[in-house]
Amino acid sequence: MSKKLVPSMRFLVFAVAALLVVMSTIDAADEDKKYSDAYDDLDVDVILKDDAERDRYYACFMDTGPCHTAAAHFFKNKAPEAIITACKYCTKKQLEMFEKIVSWYVDNKSQDWNILIEKTIQDAKKKGLKI
């Protein structure tokens, strides 16, 4: 290795180290934004199969009925951001729930799902979230 290369090599090492620090800071920031896992044990399979219970959740999300459980309240609050970010700040479990809910609705009640998505995107806009 020529002597001339040494400073640039040093710079490269510094640049890579700096980049790693920046990246880990971004990761940490995202980690901070992760939603609470307090309701991760909610059994969405049971809810999706139970017409009355599923309709109660739907009404909560649509503002056509009260949010009857703490979990309903929690997820309704997170929904606008979760939907426009494709569940970016979801826990692993929440992402699984989200995928189950999407596939159930797309398969079984796609019209209702489109209405809910449209409404939730409007909510996101009202909250000033970037679409």
Ligand X SMILES: *[C@@H]1O[C@H](CO)[C@@H](O)[C@H](O)[C@H]1NC(C)=O
- Residue of closest CB approach to ligand X: 107
Please identify, using beta-carbon distances, which residue of 23 and 46 lies nearer to ligand X: 46
CA–CA dist 129, 88 (Å, integer): 14
**Nearest approach, Cβ of residue 128 and ligand X (Å):** 34
Place of tokens 């970016």: 88
Specify burial of residue 70 (Cβ count, 10 A radius: 0-12, 13-18, 19+).
Answer: exposed
**Nearest approach, Cβ of residue 95 and ligand X (Å):** 16
**25-59 as b/e: b if 16+ CB within 10 A:** eeeeeeeeeebeeebeebebeebbeeeeebebbbe
**Nearest approach, Cβ of residue 103 and ligand X (Å):** 4
CB atoms within 10 A of CB 16: 10
Q: For binding to ligand X (CB under 6 A), which residues are involved?
A: 49, 103-104, 107-108
Please identify, using beta-carbon distances, which residue of 24 and 108 lies nearer to ligand X: 108
**Nearest approach, Cβ of residue 49 and ligand X (Å):** 5
Please identify, using beta-carbon distances, which residue of 109 and 119 lies nearer to ligand X: 109
Please identify, using beta-carbon distances, which residue of 32 and 107 lies nearer to ligand X: 107
